[in-house]
Structure 1
Amino acid sequence: MNKIFLPGVALILVVGCAVGTILIVRQGKSSGDSGGGGSSGLATHSKAVAAICHGSNYQKECEDTLGAVNSTDPKDYIAAVLAKAMKKVIGAANMSDKLAVEHKSGEEGVKMAIEDCKDLLQSAIDSLEASNMMIKGGDIRSIEDRTDDLRNWLAMVLSFQQSCYDGFEDKGGEKEVRDTLHTEGGLDGIQRLTAVALDVLSGINNLLSAFNLDLTVNVPSRRLLEEEDPSWIHEGDRKLLGSNPEPNVVVAQDGSGQFKTITDAIKSYPKKHQGRFVIYVKAGIYKEYPLVDKKKPNIYMYGDGPTKTIITGNRCVEPKKKYKTFTSATFAVAGDMFIAKGIGFENTAGSVGHQAVALRTQAPHAAFYQCAFRGFQDTLYVQAGIQLIRECEITGTIDFIFGASRTLIQKSQIIMRKPMENQRNIVVADGSLDPKAGTGVVIQNSDISPEPGLDRNVNPCYLARPWKAYSKAIFMESPIGGQIQPDGYLPWTGDMYLKTCYFAEYANTGPGYSPRTRVKWGRGQLTKDQASAYTATRYLEGAGVPWLASTGIPYDPSFTKS
């Protein structure tokens, strides 16, 4: 298996070292207890397993996995689950390789879905490797400080596993291969074990308590980034706010740069490059399908504005099924710390193309500033990781913001377009699979409105619908257009996921804001204290506000209007 360097790990280690921490450890021993042996050690072990597994959605899996750990080091409990999850992912990856050979001359849809699975499972392996590096490289104190980074990687594993499963149609040869991967290949086991790992992280205080460990953490105060005074940003990064930095390479269709295509510019990324790699894309319409792969972190790409620098494509699922949703993306990002500014990403397949992605991101961290994402169904695929989208335009029809990531959209224009006859518009379809993963889409201080000519009676519009069991969408401090139906949210199928999804609002305005008529299965209106959990400093800080500061992109750390 290929090993890769993940800059996010290095960043976290540096941040972890920089944070002042005081650790107080109290560990009592009875005369009959020497480490993990004896009845006292057994009792402590049982207490730890019970504390973590109580209330788990996969309690037996949790108890079986943690019960086999013979250690008094809390870190070993996390490592045990990760090791077991890795075994399952590798098994599924090996199965996908085998299936690829078996179906080499088979149905095109089957082959495409298997190839997508291979890529996705490799990404899951990479995320688990990053988690293992953190566990091996730190003590329980540093791990406790960085549980949210671990949570991000585990949430990505869940997303990749589910994307693999969803890539197959529910009929014919595709269903047969999918079911093989799900059972014999162990896709189902990946989800269960990743959920158990999230249980361990969520219950880390219980785990420490079971081993009589008391951690007191003192974190130095940290000034929050403000639009009007981002003076605490590193000088080199502050340049992103004003004049753009000197590019490493320039892309220009007229030959005035080093490259004529964005794809070639990305390929020029030097091996073992340190620091930012800056790509300037001059005005033009670029008909290509660039990929920023995971071996190319810290790319900053800027254009001359989203109406001048446009990356366009028309790949789509229908009518000939030449592509899957995953591979329909005009632009795809997997490299960590990707930043884009002043670029338009579009998919022109139209409503008849059904799923047709303009941009897909699975980067651990990515940020988009003053960009545009234009499409119809499935425009913006925030597949995995953590995303900040600021001052952007997002247009679409059905589920046009979707994925299973932690995404915060601020100060943006969200525009509902006219779909096909009798179709309904849905802004968000979040795919969160586990409530402990910390994923969901938050839209703050953003205008949600229709394009001219959209008739709410012909094409009803909704804020969200529950794509997966723990789908989450929060709308706050945003003006909502009157085309949004009074009930606000739409079921997926019957009453599926209505008891577990989480759709809520806070301090919205406009004719489409109708709190008294929202569906009863939603979560209604949040209090200010509840809504504060979804502001940048709380929703993204656990994942590292320092990464946000390093982008140089302004963001609102808290509420903007109340």
Structure 2
Amino acid sequence: MASSLTWSLFLASLLFLFTLPSPTLSSDVVSSSGNTGAESSVRDLCRSTPYPAACLDSLKLSVSITINPSVLSLALRTLQAAISEAAKLSSVLSSAGRPGAVVESQRSSLQDCQELHQITVASLRRSAGLVKPEARKLADARAYLAAALTNRATCLEGLAGARGPLKATLVDSWLAAYAHVSNSLSLVARSGGRKGRRLSSARSFRSRGGAGFPAWVGRRERQLLQDGDYGDVDPDSVVTVAADGTGNFTTLGEAVAWAPSNSDDRTIILVRAGVYEEHVDIPSDKTNIVLIGDGSDVTVIRGNRSVGDGWTTFRSATVAVSGEGFLARDITFQNVAGPRKGQAVALRVNADLVALYRCVMDGYQDTLYVHSFRQFYRECDVYGTVDFIFGNAAVVLQAGNIVAKMPIPGQSNVITAQSKDDPNEDTGISIQNCTIVASQELASSNVIVKTFLGRPWKNYSTTVYMESYMGGLVDPAGWKEWSGDQGLDTLYYGEYMNSGPGSPTDNRVTWPGFLVMDYDDAYSFTVSEFIYGDEWLESTSFPYDDGI
């Protein structure tokens, strides 16, 4: 499978090399005159990538042909190299699963790596078909490649404490394969089509209420998604989960297992009132699943895994979503491990085009793991203490409540920990028109607890707060260091038109990466610009504001 795919991409790259026009370098093309010029241009281009030696190695064929290779054609070559190395890594991962080959310090770290790499392989294949001179396709390719790089980071974090004879080989294989992924993202980003700011005259603001649906969304599905009124819907058209045994299933896990794999149609699962004590995994082949609860106050999915009990952060999630097109409304996702157990995720999402409406994510440290891809949360409440919205997705949280809880003694609360690790990734956390307040317990306590808007988990950490109400719990400095001066020059932390006693920016941090944004800056982080929401959110029926 891998060899045939590599050969197909090899032929495709040759065709791409010979058919693309070769305008000047100012048009994102490497121009040359003969082999020497092509080699010089490719070398110059590779010097600008994160891994120049790997780049040159992957582009040997390109410089041996007397043509003027374009940046996009070279990006396709690096993608071919990434897919080839990914196939080798798959073999190493298989060997690592043998008893004693890699001894885990945290449960499931190898399983995490295998699952994440499988998603990466699919992302690379999809990206290879999108490396074309069309801005929208390039944006999708960048989203997939950024997710792949996030998978690398997550795997290596989980393996950090592992040991065994195959560990070094496994880590080296990860680094080798993903060097080509990083180079591919660099070249695709250089090719143009990056998200840009619209001219002021072209801007518009629309509040979407989900009134319009594409033709493929059926009447029953529209009714279920739009108003939750199931009264006159044929019960055979949906699947029901009910803890009391009155539905098709008694657990959500059973319903997910029943759902068709790789479906282009939505599978609707009604989750009736009740507390469901289970850990639910929605794998990458379970696409377009829709969960509809009876209300976030009565439909609760509860788990208690934590890093303190030996799980990886990735695997600690009560509900883990890897299936593209996932939707949920009127449900609470909860992790009750407690504040002393460390990282304990209530909801993890590492899937593309995911949206939640009127849901609650409740935990302490690391409550909502917005791991990767593009996500949207509308009128959702997130409760926690430390880094309780974290990850490397491109995500917008809109019109919800962010509630800081009482941490353990001596801790500060930190709302976000964004983990962008490559300047070419179009990722970040955008919080718009939300309310940031203290829980009742924290607000009524005499204990002084500092609460910060975020801290930089990785060097290019990107987080913005726009048009939000900030209660008095927010520390005047606003933001907190992660470790020393890590990322303070390269992060992007922005605030725009916020209100409330915690919103004044006069005493904010003075880091080079902190910015009081203007309209143009803020517009780049709206639903329409940051996650291309106008192109996919209307089909969900969930309301959203596409501008500022």
TM-score normalised according to structure 1 size: 0.82
How much has 1:228 moved relative to structure 2? 4.8
Kept after mapping to 1: 8 A contact 2:107/2:312: no
- Structure 1 residues 424 and 127 mapped into 2: Cα distance closer, same or farther (>3 Å)? same
Deviates more, 1:284-293 or 1:113-122: 113-122
Would you say 1:266 and 2:262 are equivalent positions? no
How much has 1:103 moved relative to structure 2? 2.0
Would you say 1:291 and 2:281 are equivalent positions? yes
Counterpart for residue 193 of structure 1: 180
Would you say 1:88 and 2:85 are equivalent positions? yes
Distance 1:456 1:387 in 2: 37
Would you say 1:547 and 2:547 are equivalent positions? no
Distance 2:123 2:249 in 1: 32
Out of 255, 258, 266, the residue aligned to residue 245 of structure 2 is 255
Q: How does 1:21-36 map to 2 (within 5 A)?
A: none
Kept after mapping to 1: 8 A contact 2:472/2:502: yes
Counterpart for residue 227 of structure 2: 242
How much has 1:551 moved relative to structure 2? 1.3
- Structure 1 residues 480 and 114 mapped into 2: Cα distance closer, same or farther (>3 Å)? same
Would you say 1:157 and 2:148 are equivalent positions? yes
How much has 1:444 moved relative to structure 2? 0.4
Q: What amino acid is the match of 1:77? A: L
Deviations 1:460-487 (A, max 9, x none): 1111111012111111111112111111
Distance 1:151 1:402 in 2: 20
Q: What amino acid is the match of 2:98? A: V
Q: What amino acid is the match of 1:109? A: S
Deviations 1:87-138 (A, max 9, x none): 333333322322221426x755266322221111122112112222445xxx
How much has 1:68 moved relative to structure 2? 3.8
- Structure 1 residues 526 and 66 mapped into 2: Cα distance closer, same or farther (>3 Å)? farther
Distance 1:384 1:39 in 2: 38
Secondary structure of the corresponding residue to residue 383 of structure 1: strand
How much has 1:45 moved relative to structure 2? 3.5
Kept after mapping to 1: 8 A contact 2:103/2:164: no
How much has 1:365 moved relative to structure 2? 1.7
- Structure 1 residues 507 and 222 mapped into 2: Cα distance closer, same or farther (>3 Å)? closer
- Structure 1 residues 487 and 309 mapped into 2: Cα distance closer, same or farther (>3 Å)? same
Uncovered stretches (5+) of structure 1, i.e. residues with no partner:
4-24, 30-37, 207-220
Out of 113, 116, 121, the residue aligned to residue 117 of structure 2 is 121
Secondary structure of the corresponding residue to residue 125 of structure 1: helix
- Structure 1 residues 44 and 410 mapped into 2: Cα distance closer, same or farther (>3 Å)? farther
Counterpart for residue 209 of structure 1: none
How much has 1:403 moved relative to structure 2? 0.9
Counterpart for residue 105 of structure 2: 109
Deviates more, 1:89-98 or 1:418-427: 89-98
Kept after mapping to 1: 8 A contact 2:420/2:428: yes
Distance 2:108 2:256 in 1: 24
How much has 1:526 moved relative to structure 2? 0.6
- Structure 1 residues 314 and 243 mapped into 2: Cα distance closer, same or farther (>3 Å)? closer
Counterpart for residue 400 of structure 1: 388
- Structure 1 residues 436 and 109 mapped into 2: Cα distance closer, same or farther (>3 Å)? same
- Structure 1 residues 272 and 362 mapped into 2: Cα distance closer, same or farther (>3 Å)? closer
Kept after mapping to 2: 8 A contact 1:53/1:199: no
Number of corresponding residues: 504
Q: What amino acid is the match of 2:256? A: I
Secondary structure of the corresponding residue to residue 537 of structure 2: helix
Secondary structure of the corresponding residue to residue 387 of structure 2: coil
> Between the two proteins, what is the percent identity of the paired residues?
32
Counterpart for residue 132 of structure 1: 128
Kept after mapping to 2: 8 A contact 1:440/1:473: yes
Deviations 1:502-523 (A, max 9, x none): 1111111111113111111142
Secondary structure of the corresponding residue to residue 515 of structure 2: coil
Q: What amino acid is the match of 1:62? A: C
How much has 1:500 moved relative to structure 2? 1.2
Kept after mapping to 1: 8 A contact 2:319/2:347: yes
Distance 2:164 2:431 in 1: 35
Would you say 1:468 and 2:424 are equivalent positions? no
Q: How does 1:253-332 map to 2 (within 5 A)?
A: 253-271=243-261, 273-318=263-308, 320-321=309-310, 323-332=311-320
- Structure 1 residues 145 and 453 mapped into 2: Cα distance closer, same or farther (>3 Å)? closer
How much has 1:424 moved relative to structure 2? 1.3
Distance 1:89 1:225 in 2: 43
Q: What amino acid is the match of 2:51? A: Y
How much has 1:253 moved relative to structure 2? 1.5
How much has 1:288 moved relative to structure 2? 0.9
Kept after mapping to 2: 8 A contact 1:103/1:111: no
Secondary structure of the corresponding residue to residue 245 of structure 2: coil
- Structure 1 residues 282 and 464 mapped into 2: Cα distance closer, same or farther (>3 Å)? same
Q: How does 1:37-76 map to 2 (within 5 A)?
A: 40-42=33-35, 45-46=38-39, 49=42, 52-53=45-46, 55-66=48-59, 68-69=61-62, 70=65, 72=68, 74=70, 75-76=72-73
Kept after mapping to 2: 8 A contact 1:375/1:395: yes
Deviations 1:355-398 (A, max 9, x none): 11101111122110000000000100111111001100100011
- Structure 1 residues 557 and 272 mapped into 2: Cα distance closer, same or farther (>3 Å)? closer
Kept after mapping to 2: 8 A contact 1:357/1:377: yes
Out of 429, 438, 449, the residue aligned to residue 437 of structure 2 is 449
Kept after mapping to 1: 8 A contact 2:437/2:473: yes
Kept after mapping to 1: 8 A contact 2:261/2:287: no
Out of 444, 459, 462, the residue aligned to residue 449 of structure 2 is 459
Kept after mapping to 1: 8 A contact 2:335/2:362: yes
- Structure 1 residues 346 and 412 mapped into 2: Cα distance closer, same or farther (>3 Å)? same
Deviations 1:414-465 (A, max 9, x none): 0001111101111110111112110111100000111124269633111111
Counterpart for residue 503 of structure 1: 493
Would you say 1:370 and 2:352 are equivalent positions? no
- Structure 1 residues 283 and 556 mapped into 2: Cα distance closer, same or farther (>3 Å)? same
- Structure 1 residues 401 and 176 mapped into 2: Cα distance closer, same or farther (>3 Å)? farther
Uncovered stretches (5+) of structure 2, i.e. residues with no partner:
4-19, 25-30, 194-201
Tell me how large the CA RMSD over aligned residues is: 3.0
Kept after mapping to 2: 8 A contact 1:168/1:175: no
Distance 2:23 2:175 in 1: 40
Secondary structure of the corresponding residue to residue 184 of structure 2: helix
Distance 1:394 1:284 in 2: 20
Distance 1:374 1:133 in 2: 39
- Structure 1 residues 167 and 26 mapped into 2: Cα distance closer, same or farther (>3 Å)? closer
Deviations 1:315-356 (A, max 9, x none): 1111x42x1111111001111100001111000001011111
Distance 1:111 1:460 in 2: 33
Distance 1:419 1:296 in 2: 36
